[in-house]
Amino acid sequence: MRVLFVTYPAIGHLFPTIPLAWALRSAGHDVLVASSGDALEAANAGLHVADVSPGFHLEEFLQTECGELIARLRQPGEIDPMDGLRMFARLNDALADGIVRTADAFRPDLIVYEQIFVAGLIAAARLGVPAVQHNFGCVRATPLRQLTVALMSETMARHGVASVPDRVPTIDIAPPTMVEPEVDGWLMRPVPYNSGAVLPDWLLHERAGRPRIGVTLGTATVHVNGLGPVQRLVAAAPQVDAEFVLALGEVETAELGELPENVRVVGWVPLAKLLETCDAAVHHGGAGTTLAALNAGVPQLVLPDGADRGINARCVEDRGLGLSRSAEDLDAELLTRLITDEKMAVVAREVRAEIEAMPTPVSLVARLEELAGR
């Protein structure tokens, strides 16, 4: 069976799909990832990748082609959710020609598309092959798909597609007790993937005699919004009996100044492995980060700053395993509560056990083979 994966050109959208691609590849199927930009990172997961738009840079595209939409989405107060969908539709349209061209050449038996990147659904309709939607967080994606497709009539016409199916088999990787009103399709365990790495010695062997808090703001937030939340956390850290590990990626941190003795900056480190050694997490609410913390079974302090992050933060707080606050709320009292609230810790462990009981990516292979008629 030949399977084409189609994803948004960013690693936060790509990474949740890697475990299923691995499962299919390990079962002997031919897997190809079609995307561009940072999603070409799939090659480092041992997968074959087609660059559907060589030279594409997501941030440059968003600024030049979606600048007015982004400006409105960043304004304080009420926002129009359709602006976000218009942005997704423009991005889908920009890469659709390359995705369709790749699909035409690869001739897949099945297309798996990440929930926002409906250009994969259009390519499947053009070829007359089944498509599967792969969700990546707590957002219920079916309404988003339908609204985004409605904005892409010109894209569909350009590729000879009159319509796409209204109902699409969907893979849902959110723990069932974390979402409402119900599971959005086939359940699959969210296996954390953060790329491979040679793990530093401190991560494997060093643990202070006090709680460890992992801190990350994802792959994009720091570049867009700066280090303000981290500065507030660093200011509060000396008053908290904990070790803070700042995993901020390739970000210049000189403006943080001299760090307290209980704060360590580590740059990029596989988040899932870091959180396994932590007692709590502070993060921006990205879907992959939220699920990694759920897998680790640790309480979370979420500082949402747009996109789907507010939804993920609300799911964390409603389930009782963490807190949703603004960056301005960061202080020693809040951080101390994060590592001392036993009720949150108990619920976090409950959700970890729930995830461990979910069907693995391997268990879905036979179902996808049946869907593709193989």
Structural domain that includes position 294: 201-356
Q: 251 in a domain, yes or no?
A: yes
Q: Could you tell me the pLDDT band of residue 60, with boundaries at 50, 70 and 90?
A: confident
Q: Which residues of 129-156 are buried (b: 16+ CB within 10 A; e: fewer)?
A: bbbbbbbbbbbbbbebbebbbebbeebb
Predicted local confidence at residue 125, as pLDDT: 96
Mean per-residue pLDDT for 166-195?
87
Number of structural domains (the chain) is 2
Q: 291 in a domain, yes or no?
A: yes
Same domain, 117 and 155: yes
Amino acid sitting at position 269? V
Same domain, 212 and 310: yes
Same domain, 362 and 335: no
Same domain, 151 and 244: no
Q: 299 in a domain, yes or no?
A: yes
Same domain, 226 and 323: yes
Query: The CATH number of the domain where 266 resides is what?
Result: 3.40.50.2000
Same domain, 345 and 243: yes
Q: Could you tell me the pLDDT band of residue 116, with boundaries at 50, 70 and 90?
A: confident
Q: Could you tell me the pLDDT band of residue 248, with boundaries at 50, 70 and 90?
A: confident
Q: What does the chain come to in residues?
A: 374
pLDDT by residue (tens digit) across 123-160? 999 999 999 999 988 877 677 788 888 889 999 999 99
Q: 169 in a domain, yes or no?
A: yes
Going from the C-alpha of 17 to that of each of 51, 76, 92, the distances in angstroms are: 17, 33, 18
Mean per-residue pLDDT for 62-85?
72
Q: Could you tell me the pLDDT band of residue 358, with boundaries at 50, 70 and 90?
A: very high
**Taken in order 283, 341, 279, 211, is the CA torsion positive or negative?**
positive
Q: 195 in a domain, yes or no?
A: no
CA pair distance 131, 365, nearest whole angstrom: 14
How many Cβ atoms are within 10 Å of 53's Cβ, its own excluded? 17
Predicted local confidence at residue 302, as pLDDT: 94
Cα 364 to the center of its chain, rounded Å: 20
pLDDT by residue (tens digit) across 308-351? 777 888 899 999 999 999 888 889 999 999 999 999 999 999 99
Same domain, 210 and 168: no
SS3 313: helix
Predicted local confidence at residue 218, as pLDDT: 64
Mean per-residue pLDDT for 32-53?
96
pLDDT by residue (tens digit) across 204-218? 877 768 899 999 886
Write down the pTM of the prediction: 0.90
Same domain, 21 and 167: yes
How is residue 128 written in tokens? 């007359």
Q: Are 364 and 187 in contact (CB under 8 A)?
A: no
Rounded to the nearest integer, the mean pLDDT of the chain is 88
Same domain, 320 and 352: yes
Close Cβ partners of 49 (under 8 Å, ≥ 6 residues apart): 32, 33, 34, 35, 39, 40, 42, 43
SS3 255: helix
**Taken in order 249, 16, 44, 224, is the CA torsion positive or negative?**
negative
Same domain, 168 and 224: no
Q: Could you tell me the pLDDT band of residue 98, with boundaries at 50, 70 and 90?
A: very high
Predicted local confidence at residue 223, as pLDDT: 43
Q: 74 in a domain, yes or no?
A: yes
Same domain, 85 and 205: no
Same domain, 175 and 254: no
Predicted local confidence at residue 73, as pLDDT: 65
Q: 297 in a domain, yes or no?
A: yes
**Helix runs in the chain, H state only:** 11-14, 18-26, 58-65, 67-73, 81-106, 119-127, 142-150, 153-158, 201-205, 221-225, 228-236, 271-276, 287-296, 309-319, 332-340, 342-356, 365-371
Q: 196 in a domain, yes or no?
A: no
